Structure 1
Amino acid sequence: MNNSYIRFLNLIDAIAGLDANKKLDATEEQLLDAVMLAYSQGREILVGDLIHLSKIGSQATLHGRVKNLVTMGYVKLTTDKMDGRKKKAAPTKLAMKHYDSLSKLLTKAVAA
């Protein structure tokens, strides 16, 4: 099939098989996308904002997936200095590397 997006998905699938421990599920990918978009726009995003993305899943599911992203090293949480109950989410170097890899795969898929 001569479709750039399908080639891109195939490349992602091949890469994901290399390190099964760092493979993100669809919910984790969407949460990480939200963190990265906020970061790229210079906005802060709180864990509370993430767990209220009801189109992705329930609050309990999202909270668990945010924990997974922290455990896997894709997201770091910092406590808000003004309100200790709030936790800010930010991408880590691993997350940046992940998106750099995706960008390279997309470029490769489009060029093929």
Structure 2
Amino acid sequence: MEKTQSPFASAYLRFLQLATVVQALPDGQEMDANESALLQSVVLRWYENEPMTVREAIGLAALGSPATLHKRITRLREKDMLSTLNQEGDRRAKFLIPTQRTLDYFQNLGKSMQQAHQNQIA
């Protein structure tokens, strides 16, 4: 069967190939798709200067039940992908903050996207 793909589909598929390579964390640990989706949600909010609280994260019903999301947050913290920060003056609100390891992880994904784009125009 012949592959007929648009340049955009080809670029995205190459990106997926590259992203798969960097999906593993530096020490060989991996994140499952659910952990990755949660991490992306948390980091996107942080990037938009609206850090997500633990309470908000456990309320992301589209990503799982509160108990499941709490376990995922715990696993991401154990993998040194997230840390928490208490708001000054209010110890009840804990914000989820990406660690340097997470920022490095997304930087590697960004490099993969750029490489896929460079391969597309070459």
**Do the structures match in fold with TM over 0.5?**
yes
Mapped partners of 2:85, 2:66: distance in 1:
20
Greater Cα radius of gyration, structure 1 or 2? 2
Distance in 1 of aligned mates of 2:22 and 2:103: 16
Gaps in structure 1 of 5+ consecutive residues: none
**What's the counterpart of residue 50 of structure 2?**
43
- Offset at 1:14? 2.3
* Inter-partner Cα distance in structure 1 for 2:23 and 2:48: 27
5+ residue gaps, structure 2, are: none
Aligned to 2:28: 20
**Mapped partners of 2:40, 2:74: distance in 1:** 15
Residue of structure 2 equivalent to 1:84: 91
**Which aligned pairs between 1:1-112 and structure 2 lie closer than 5 A?**
3-16=10-23, 19-21=27-29, 23-112=30-119
CA RMSD, Structure 1 to Structure 2 (Å): 1.8
Deviations 1:6-28 (A, max 9, x none): 1111112223357531x111111
TM-score (norm 2): 0.81
Number of residue pairs the alignment of both structures matches? 111
